[in-house]
Every structure is written in C-alpha cells, then in structure tokens.
Amino acid sequence: MPLPDDDALRAIALDTGLLGPDAIGLTLGHAIFIVEGHESRQLLTHECRHVHQYETAGSIAAFLPVYFQQLVTVGYYDAPFEVDAREHEID
C-alpha cells in the first residue's frame, strides 16, 4: 500500500482526532506537547516512548507516514506504535 500524501496525512490527523479538541498529548520528534492540566507521569512516559519511536525511525518524516498508515489501517487504539507506547507507560 502506498504511503499517504500530505493532504491525506492532514485529513487523517484531523479525522482521527490526533490534532482535535480531544487530543491531550502530541509528540513531534523530540517535542512533546501536553495540554495544560493533563500533565501526568503516565502521559509523559507514553509520549517519551513516541520520542524513542521517532529516533528509531530516524526522522519525523520517516515516522509520521508509517504512524498515520497504522491509524488508517487499524485505528488509533490498535496502532502498533500506540500499543507499544501504552506498554511503556509508567503510572
């Protein structure tokens, strides 16, 4: 399956709620954004695992298309990067 183009990525990000009002955490490379009032050890360790995933992928440009492909294919909860991040959360 070909990787989605920029317009498709934008649509996916909005459709999945990744950048919507319900999103409380977002990681882009080494930058972790957490909505004020939602700071927690669990969320921060989850987002730090995404940093590790970005580093393993080698770049934001290498990570995001694969991540979005996972979201489209199996949905947010079952996306392998999300499953992995949840497994590395510390309460």
What residue ranges bind Zn ion (CB under 5 A)?
82, 85
Instruction: Give the whole-angstrom CA distance, residue 6 versus residue 81.
Output: 20
Is the distance from CB of 36 to CB of 46 less than 8 angstroms?
Answer: no
Nearer to Zn ion, 64 or 85 (CB): 85
Nearer to Zn ion, 10 or 88 (CB): 88
Q: Report, in Å, the least distance between residue 28 CB and Zn ion.
A: 12
CA 88 to chain centre: 14
Q: Report, in Å, the least distance between residue 82 CB and Zn ion.
A: 5
